[in-house]
Structure 1
Amino acid sequence: MTEPATAPEVASAPPPVIEFRGVGLTYPGPPPVPALRPCDLTVLTGDYVTVVGPSGSGKSTFLNIAGLLDRPTSGRYLLDGVDTGAVRDAGRTALRGRRIGFVFQSFHLLAHRSALENVTLALLYNGTPRGQRPALAREALERVGLGHRVDAVPSRLSGGERQRVAIARAVVARPSLLLCDEPTGNLDTVTAESVLSLLDQLHREGMTLLVITHDREVAARGRRTITIRDGVLKENDAAARESGVRT
């Protein structure tokens, strides 16, 4: 007797990298100040989202919540399917170290450490065995085009090279999300373009990007652009229908 055919297993889609469900943050008063009004947002694996808005609009609050630096006062934030509100502070720190890479406008490199050492230090707190760290750091620097500058200290690097070291440090642990805060703010036009091209390359390789910027040209590099104004997060109607953004 022939065994009945079984349907092939279908791999389930991974959870969204970012899922906001009514997430908002209000600073206590008096009077209370709503820095980010309750919103829904979904960012899928491999997405490239840019976030724009004027000074004081809520961009920094949004970044701090997405980066697990602040806790929202309302709603739920799921990162890779993990309900971050249910995780204690130590667990949030570990989750941030494993799942999120940060790139800042001011680089935040240690002045007296080489490029290799700056990148290696990013692996100190995520459980990577000591013996594996230098090779992984060197691989990350090669990935951003700085394999020939591993021994240079930041003062011997150009602004663009320093930002590339910062990006290597952010991606060395292969995070789920690369969170960039004004990544070209301190760079001239030509250097900024080279850094943006690197971000494009990382996106093509499958990295999920969330870029905070005040620059409309930088914002245009993303596949989706979200605007924050007076704490209200909005996306254009077509993109919102596709991605699930509601305010």
Structure 2
Amino acid sequence: MNPSPVIDLRRAGLTYPGPPEVVALRPCDVTVQRGEYVTIVGPSGAGKSTFLNIIGLLDEPTSGSYLLDGIDTAAVKDAERTALRGTRIGFVFQSFHLLSHRTARENVELAMVYQRTARGSRRQRAEQALCRVGLGHRLDALPSRLSGGERQRVAIARALAAQPSLLLCDEPTGNLDSQTAASVLDLLDGLNRDGMTVVVITHDAEVARRGRRTITIRDGQVLA
């Protein structure tokens, strides 16, 4: 029996009520299988952020349905949606969102506090995640002592610490120079080779080419 897709959008769309109504994302069918690396591209205002918000459980579709790991997200209560988002989706953003007065390890550990991970396992899982992204030697460094690339690696480690089904990245190299961006993309490649499902929202054609499959969104419509 085949496992459920990580992402399964079925005629899912989002329209903001008016007047006038604004169609942010037209009903679409999108499936992302476990272990895929998909990039999402499109011009500014095309609907990429709306798409990200839906698959990241930040917004609910106003039509159709969204199944995450086979779970119908419309059928769960708000607290369960929050738990799904915290345990099954790891977010990586353009801005690193690290606490300046906390070490790399503490920044990763703090993310697990909100996920109610047992205190005894937080430190171990934080160290494992940082080692996985190549920062085993920087566990006790403050963000001010880290390069931009290292700070983004801490952010990726923080996303990985919950052992999510999906790594969801929004312009993950937007604040990095080209050489540093390439090293972060190499890391995402490696994580995907290890089996992680990766979805990257980007306007950068070079970043988009890293994906095994690219989906274009234009004028609120998803194009295969």
TM class by shorter chain equals over 0.9
Q: Which amino acid aligns with 1:209?
A: V
Which whole-Å deviations, capped at 9, do the CAs of 1:31-83 have from their partners, x for residues lacking one? 10000000001000000000001110000000000000000100000000000
Q: Do residues 226 (structure 1) and 215 (structure 2) align?
A: yes
Partner SS, residue 62 of structure 1:
helix
2:16 to 3, 27, 33: 27
Distance of 2:92 and 2:4 partners within structure 1: 24
- How far off its partner does 1:175 sit? 0.3
- How far off its partner does 1:13 sit? 1.4
* Residue in 2 that maps onto 1:239: none
Which whole-Å deviations, capped at 9, do the CAs of 1:124-144 have from their partners, x for residues lacking one? 133321011001100100000
Report the identity percentage: 74
1:101 to 90, 94, 100: 90
* Residue in 2 that maps onto 1:13: 2
Distance of 2:126 and 2:165 partners within structure 1: 18
Query: Number of matched residues?
Result: 224
Q: Do residues 191 (structure 1) and 162 (structure 2) align?
A: no
Distance of 1:147 and 1:203 partners within structure 2: 20
Distance of 2:60 and 2:85 partners within structure 1: 13
Q: Which amino acid aligns with 1:205?
A: D
Partner SS, residue 173 of structure 2:
coil
* Residue in 1 that maps onto 2:193: 204
Partner SS, residue 161 of structure 1:
helix
Where structure 1 has 5 or more consecutive residues not aligned to the other structure, the ranges are 1-11, 236-247
Distance of 1:72 and 1:42 partners within structure 2: 16
Map 1:70-85 → 2, pairs under 5 A: 70-85=59-74
Distance of 1:142 and 1:64 partners within structure 2: 29
- How far off its partner does 1:187 sit? 0.2
Give the alignment's Cα RMSD to 1 decimal: 0.7
Query: What TM-score do the two structures reach when normalised by structure 1?
Result: 0.90
Partner SS, residue 113 of structure 2:
coil
* Residue in 2 that maps onto 1:149: 138
Distance of 2:2 and 2:87 partners within structure 1: 21
* Residue in 2 that maps onto 1:3: none
Query: What TM-score do the two structures reach when normalised by structure 2?
Result: 0.99
Q: Do residues 166 (structure 1) and 155 (structure 2) align?
A: yes
Partner SS, residue 34 of structure 1:
strand
Q: Which has the larger radius of gyration?
A: 1
1:52 to 31, 36, 41: 41
Q: Do residues 140 (structure 1) and 129 (structure 2) align?
A: yes
* Residue in 2 that maps onto 1:8: none
